[in-house]
Amino acid sequence: MGKMIELTAADGHKLAAYRADPAGTPRGAIVVIQEIFGVNSHIRSVTDGYAADGYFALAPAMYDRVQRGYESGYTPPEIEAGRAIMQKLDWKQTLIDVSAAIEAVKSAGKVGIVGYCWGGAVTWVAAGRLPGLACAVPYYGGAIPNFISEQPKCPVMFHFGEQDQSIPLEQAKKVVAAHPEATTHFYPAGHGFNCDQRGSFNAESAKLARERTLEFFRKHVG
């Protein structure tokens, strides 16, 4: 459905991005931030899904700074490999890449951002540090507690799994307590519950979280 395009970040770095266009006039735009597995088939299908809902959707290849064209599955060795690349990334550059994606889609109207796993943490930090976002939806970002003091510039909706080992419940609750202005939802699920290619996939929770996310985008993006 979508296609790969190239973005140029403010520092001249060129990165790939998966672009999916809606059938009619876009309601607005959604930037989709990947997990540690790259812009793989799952992230492409999530991006296609937002396009089917009427948004111009774009998933920037956030790992291109370290390894171009990276995508993987979900086995333990692939999790290790994905983590290793993530640890080589620099937050400043990561945010420059998110900005490049926001710039690339803003012609479609207001811009929302959604991110999963590592992308959830990126989404949360972007909400506090980047201009141009109408709202942000972080899904179970393990590093979010490290950034508890960020002050989002736009409305935020958190999705957390109650059985998530990457971001234990008491940590998630601390984040929520520190940010009463955010909309927060907890699910009887583990980390990665939105991903239908992972053992931790929870169909009911994923469906409910997606419905809530769409409602949030309808309200804030269009």
What class is the 3-220 domain? alpha beta
Q: Mean pLDDT in the chain?
A: 97
| pLDDT tens digits for range 13-39 | 999 999 999 999 999 999 999 999 999
Decide if pLDDT at 1 tops 90: no
Q: Report the percent of the chain where pLDDT is more than 90.
A: 100
Cα 19 to chain centroid distance, Å, stands at 15
| pLDDT tens digits for range 151-184 | 999 999 999 999 999 999 999 999 999 999 999 9
Question: Which pLDDT band holds residue 147 (cuts at 50, 70, 90)?
Answer: very high
Task: List phi, psi (to 5°) of 177.
Answer: -65, -35
Q: How many other CB atoms are found less than 10 A from the CB of residue 185?
A: 13
Q: What pLDDT does 171 receive?
A: 96
Contact 55, 30 (CB under 8 A): yes
Contact 119, 142 (CB under 8 A): no
Tell me the torsion sign for CA atoms 107, 220, 193, 163: positive
Cut 0.75: pTM above it: yes
Q: Which of 46, 183, 68, 173 is nearest to 117 (CA)?
A: 46
Tell me the catalytic residues. 117, 164, 191
For residues 4 and 198, what is the distance between their CA atoms, to the nearest angstrom?
A: 24
Q: What pLDDT does 66 receive?
A: 98
Strands (E), 54-94: 56-60
Question: Which pLDDT band holds residue 118 (cuts at 50, 70, 90)?
Answer: very high
Q: Encoding tokens for residue 139?
A: 């899904």
For residues 189 and 31, what is the distance between their CA atoms, to the nearest angstrom?
A: 25
